[in-house]
Amino acid sequence: MRHTLPLTPQFYVTAPQPCPYLEGRLERKLFTALQGDNASDLNDSLSAQGFRRSQNVLYRPSCTECASCLSARIDVAAFKASRSQRRIIARNQTLQRRATSPWATEDQYSLFRRYLDSRHADGGMADMDVFEFAAMIEETPIRSRVIEYVDQDSRELVGVCLTDVLGDGVSMVYSFYTPDRPKNGLGNYMILDHIDIARAAGLPYVYLGYWVPGSQKMGYKAKFSGLEVYLGGTWQKLADPASFRPEQHPLGNDPIAEQVANIALPDMVRAPR
């Protein structure tokens, strides 16, 4: 018997678990599988509606009493580097960008382990082994690239970003870098370089993942001009991050059925050839 995948994506909800960004909160995610011939179309459509990719899954926060996690992207045309960001660019002049296919290497994993041990030793990825790391990099049904940053003088691999190429931009799925250069601002530098990548490719946006007001580890994203957040079903310019107050109320978020009903899907049915 021949089985076929459903043409319409099926959405599911995770069980509540401790929030990694805000202490004392519980997080819950709405997710769907990313698979089949139309994976790129689905990824483009849902990324523009606040979803993120993790391997073969697209997900979006769907918490019961909190709406703090907001999908964020940079409008490349509206971005203007600040004085401190220009200094970061100058500090990293010796770095060379190298774009490769999504294939994991031992050097990448070694850098990944050093990054986690230094910055996220108690995080959810702390126990990720080399096989799980390879799956994170390589299991992608869409157009993805690994962007490596190598010091031209020492030939040291100092930064890596797994990047998806969308119809309207580039999405920084996950990045990590050496903890040995704290003054170089490597995390910010990779974002600045991805703005250049998008601009050179004629793509209007750089997708950064989620900005969480009140979370210190996510605060750096609000320092980029041209930042937009997905709020109330639309992308809105973030004028003053310090004054932003997310809605927190048991009735503030739509029920799951309404959230799913309001997701715009691409034309998943194609005429037979």
Residue indicated by tokens 């599911």: 12
pLDDT at 273: 37
pLDDT in tens, 192-249: 999 999 999 999 999 999 998 877 777 889 999 999 999 888 999 987 777 776 655 5
Provide φ and ψ at 236, rounded to 5°: -125, 140
Residue 29 lies in a domain: yes
Position with higher pLDDT, 20 vs 166: 166
pLDDT-derived band at 119, boundaries 50, 70, 90 = confident
| Mean of the per-residue pLDDT values of the chain | 88
Give the N- to C-terminal CA distance of the chain in Å, as an integer: 22
With 50 as the cut, is the pLDDT of residue 271 above it?
no
Residue 150 lies in a domain: no
Average pLDDT over every residue of 85-110: 97
pLDDT-derived band at 272, boundaries 50, 70, 90 = very low
pLDDT at 159: 98
pLDDT-derived band at 1, boundaries 50, 70, 90 = very low
Residue 254 lies in a domain: yes
pLDDT in tens, 239-269: 777 777 665 555 456 778 888 888 989 875 4
pLDDT-derived band at 270, boundaries 50, 70, 90 = very low
Q: In whole angstroms, what is the distance from residue 122 CA to residue 175 CA?
A: 18
Quote the number of domains for the chain. 1
Residue 257 lies in a domain: yes
pLDDT at 181: 94
With 80 as the cut, is the pLDDT of residue 18 above it?
yes
Residue 45 lies in a domain: yes
Distances in Å between the alpha carbon of 184 and those of 111, 158, 194? Answer: 16, 11, 16
pLDDT at 253: 67
With 50 as the cut, is the pLDDT of residue 3 above it?
no
pLDDT at 120: 63
pLDDT at 64: 82
With 90 as the cut, is the pLDDT of residue 20 above it?
no
pLDDT in tens, 57-86: 999 998 887 888 889 999 999 999 999 999
With 70 as the cut, is the pLDDT of residue 121 above it?
no
Contact 260, 30 (CB under 8 A): yes
Domain residues for 16? 11-69+248-261
Residue 230 lies in a domain: no
- How many Å separate Cα 160 from the centre of its chain? 14
Global confidence as pTM:
0.90
Q: What is the largest CA-CA distance in the chain?
A: 63
Query: What are the tokens at 16?
Result: 């509540």
Provide φ and ψ at 207, rounded to 5°: -85, 130
Residue 41 lies in a domain: yes
Other C-beta atoms closer than 10 Å to the C-beta of 221 total: 22
- What would the 3-class secondary structure string for the chain be? CCCCCCCCCCEEECCCEECCCCCCCEECEEEEECCCCCHHHHHHHHHCCCCEEECCEEEEECCCCCCCCEEEEEEHHHCCCCHHHHHHHHHCCCEEEEEECCCCCHHHHHHHHHHHHHHCCCCCCCCCCHHHHHHHHHCCCCCEEEEEEEECCCCCEEEEEEEEECCCEEEEEEEEECCCCHHHCHHHHHHHHHHHHHHHHCCCEEEEEEECCCCHHHHHHHHCCCEEEEECCEEEECCCHHHCCCCCCCCCCCCHHHHHHCCCCCCCCCCCC
Residue 54 lies in a domain: yes
Query: What are the tokens at 134?
Result: 């390879």
Query: To the nearest 10°, the Cα dihedral for 267, 261, 170, 60?
Result: -150
Percentage of residues in the chain having pLDDT higher than 90: 64
Contact 158, 178 (CB under 8 A): yes
Q: In 74-97, which positions are buried (b, 16+ CB within 10 angstroms) versus exposed (e)?
A: bbbeebeeeeebeebbeebeebee
